A and B are shown apart, each in its own frame.
Chain A
Amino acid sequence: MITIEVNGRSVRAEKGEMLLSALRRAGITVPTLCHIDGLTPSGACRICVVEVEGQRNLVPSCAFPAADGMKIRTHSPRAVSARRTIVELLLANHPDDCLYCSRNGNCQLQTLAEELGVRQRRFAGDRTRHTLDTSSPSIARDPAKCILCGKCVRVCEEVQSVAAIDFIGRGSRAKIGTAFDEGLNVSSCVNCGQCINVCPTGALTEQSHIKEVLDALDDPNKVVVVQHAPAVSVTLGEEFGLPAGADVAGAMTATLRRLGFDRVFDTGFAADLTIMEEGSELVYRIKNGGRLPMLTSCSPGWIKFVESYYPDFLDNLSTCKSPQQMMGAVIKHYFAQREGLAPSRIYSVSIMPCTAKKFEAGRPEMGNGTDPDIDAVLTTRELARIIRMRGLSLLDMPAETADTPFGERTTAGKLFGASGGVMEAAIRSAHYLITGEEMGNLNVHDVRGLNGVKEARVNIAGLDVGVAVVSGLGNACKLLDQIRAGRSDLHFIEVMTCPGGCIAGGGQPLGTSSEAVRSRMKALYSIDNQEAVRTSHHNESVKRLYAEFLGEPLSEKSHHLLHTHYTRREVLV
């Protein structure tokens, strides 16, 4: 440890640590625009400049290492004025669109302009003319609001190993775009939305389905059914001021009813169903010499990634649809039949922590060809927006429970929201499927936590099963490359596209810190600790669905409704 002096107070720092992190630990706020925690600093925006005694120029605190005895002023007139000038220059080529912007009230550029007291347009620059890119089913890009901070580019390449976008052109014509400047829909983008989560402005947003959903809610002829994913109830509260990890499942259900949804179902039910199908598929593959390791298929960004980058692994992917799509199929087929409704009268909405789910819902194989199983997908953020629009107060809602028959979930289904959760749920049930007995201790600690790569060996009745859990596609790449190179000790691999899993998905509340992700994860495991039914094979509603409709896991009906196939994609990679 070394000591530096900040604004006259002494502050402890690690030797070689960047000033910014020492300042943050000491509770001193310096704004950033291009900095991403955990990635190498790019030093591009210089909004984080501070004055260091003995240095002629201001230094960017995100990229300047602390040294013993260093004297720093974070808010000297010179530093503050430099920051204000940077913001004024950014605004010179920025549309004054705050009132019409999806980030109004939640925009780092707007906040900085306010905090730095920018009250007039000082530089009247030429506005670059840009076209919107609304080609993607998941992500909308408005380059006019882009400040070229480069965060989206770095996340896409360094975290996700996708590199769908980069800086193109130069000087006043520079912008962010895809190879050959084509629409995001035809690029290698996997729709994960991690770029949205880091974007400081309204340049990147989800493709909104709010209008479609409100129209359906208004339509007296429609039966509007909603499902919510396991990771949503532990994040939605943040949009309304609750601390990260507060579970608002009951209040959310009540709110969804007040919004006019006719049935409120829990995607956790379909997660349990997924475990029955996927667990049986794994056991079948192991016993019958099928293709291994089997790769999970719940995460649609990951699926598109394999289709584009690792087509030689298509046969390793579980053929199970994701929980969203299993629920969608069960609603439009079984539920419709049970209620005596034509499937076309049902409008099926899902609330997801994810932007890629919008893409998944539109995949041609996820419906009967004309009518999709899922009609609209709202992100956690969009749901919060609708709740505010309708003047409902989430925090004052009584807790209500979801509807039968697809409102019942076990805690195993709930764990799907975190990296490692699918694996833990699968191990619990695979053990039962193979041995007919419950595991002595249901907790599988090795696959928990926020590490990007987790591995374990599980012994099930003498069968030594190698499992791995990865999140963040960059980590998935490394593992697949090992397998391509001949690694053969793994049977089952869980992959989630977003680092940490759905709790950190591309549709979650913005401005998420790694502490927030940790709290959300903790919330899921504490639910698992507190409730009685912790294994998917003990979900009574799932059992009934098999007894009344599907028969058994991997039955013909299951295959028809709950399984799918994948195709190689030719995209520019």
Chain B
Amino acid sequence: MVTVDLQPILQRYPNASRDALIPILQEVQEHQGYLSREAVVEIGKHLRLPASKIYGVATFYNQFRFQPQGRNHIQVCRGTACHVKGSAAVLDTLKRELKIDAGQTTRDGQFSLEVVACIGACGLAPVICVNGEFHAGVTTKSIAKILDSYRRKATPNDGNEAA
């Protein structure tokens, strides 16, 4: 794994206390795309906080992820309109199909899943957004097809990722 140098971020919070944890986590995630184990340890050293505490605080909020995003990043809208139109079932189906939870990435690195608050496309509810492309009126039935279309787009040398 490539270690990313977090010092430029951490140095902006000298003698920081716990209060600085959330902003630091946000900056690191922006920088790295996710919070790696190495990052959590390094932030912990800087703030003198145990890794379990940082993980605990970070999991309190939906915005942090602990695995790099997949090649296809799926955002599931859980805004009110989508909820009314059945986004919970959509999310469940996605989790089952991909065998991951929200915030996780499939082992082959093809897909990652994120739950987001309203993405402002309520007219299209329930909506999911894959790599920035919106899919409107998603049903539990249409999900397999959508996933397949992204699987096909994967380059051949992505290898044996069928499982």
User: Which of B5-13, B20-28, B47-55, B152-160 is the interface stretch?
Assistant: B47-55
Nearest CB in chain A to that of B38: its residue:
A572
- Tell me which of B44, B56, B59, B60 contacts A573 (CB under 8 A): B44
Nearest CB in chain B to that of A173: its residue:
B59
Candidate in A168, A180, A181 with the most chain B CB atoms within 10 angstroms: A180
- B53-88 near A? 1/0 per residue, CB < 8 Å: 111100110000010000000000000000000000
11 contacts between A and B (CB under 8 A): A157-B53, A163-B52, A166-B56, A168-B55, A168-B56, A170-B60, A179-B40, A187-B52, A188-B50, A573-B44, A573-B50
Is A179 in contact with B59, judged by CB distance below 8 angstroms? no
A178 at the A/B interface (Cβ < 8 Å)?
Answer: yes
Chain A, 538-573, CB within 8 A of any chain B CB: 572-573
B107 at the A/B interface (Cβ < 8 Å)?
Answer: no
A295 at the A/B interface (Cβ < 8 Å)?
Answer: no
Which residues of B have CB within 8 Å of A168?
Answer: 55-56, 59
A123 at the A/B interface (Cβ < 8 Å)?
Answer: no
Is A180 in contact with B55, judged by CB distance below 8 angstroms? yes
Q: A167-B56, A170-B59, A572-B41 are in contact. List 4 more A-B contacts (CB 8 A).
A: A164-B52, A166-B56, A179-B50, A572-B40
B99 at the A/B interface (Cβ < 8 Å)?
Answer: no
Which residues of B have CB within 8 Å of A178?
Answer: 52, 55
Chain A, 448-470, CB within 8 A of any chain B CB: none
Is A573 in contact with B55, judged by CB distance below 8 angstroms? no
Is B60 in contact with A572, judged by CB distance below 8 angstroms? no
> A164–B51 Cα gap in the complex (Å)?
8
Is B66 in contact with A163, judged by CB distance below 8 angstroms? no
B31 at the A/B interface (Cβ < 8 Å)?
Answer: no
Which residues of B have CB within 8 Å of A572?
Answer: 37, 40-41, 51-52
Chain A, 156-206, CB within 8 A of any chain B CB: 157, 163-170, 177-181, 187-188
> A164–B50 Cα gap in the complex (Å)?
8
If over half of A's interface residues share one DSSP class (helix, strand or loop), that class is named, otherwise mixed; here it is mixed
Which residues of B have CB within 8 Å of A177?
Answer: 52
Q: Tell me how far the C-beta of A191 lies from the nearest C-beta in chain B, rounded to whole angstroms.
A: 16
Is B59 in contact with A165, judged by CB distance below 8 angstroms? no
Which residues of A have CB within 8 Å of B50?
Answer: 157, 163-164, 166, 179, 188, 573
> A179–B54 Cα gap in the complex (Å)?
8
Given that A572-B40, A573-B41 are contacting pairs, would A181 and B55 also be in contact in the complex, using a CB cutoff of 8 Å?
yes
Which residues of A have CB within 8 Å of B41?
Answer: 572-573
Which residues of A have CB within 8 Å of B51?
Answer: 179-180, 188, 572-573
Nearest CB in chain A to that of B54: its residue:
A179
Nearest CB in chain A to that of B36: its residue:
A180
Which residues of B have CB within 8 Å of A188?
Answer: 50-52
Q: Tell me how far the C-beta of A135 lies from the nearest C-beta in chain B, rounded to whole angstroms.
A: 15
Q: Tell me how far the C-beta of A181 lies from the nearest C-beta in chain B, rounded to whole angstroms.
A: 7
Nearest CB in chain A to that of B56: its residue:
A166
Which residues of B have CB within 8 Å of A181?
Answer: 55, 59
Is A166 in contact with B55, judged by CB distance below 8 angstroms? yes
- A288-323 near B? 1/0 per residue, CB < 8 Å: 000000000000000000000000000000000000
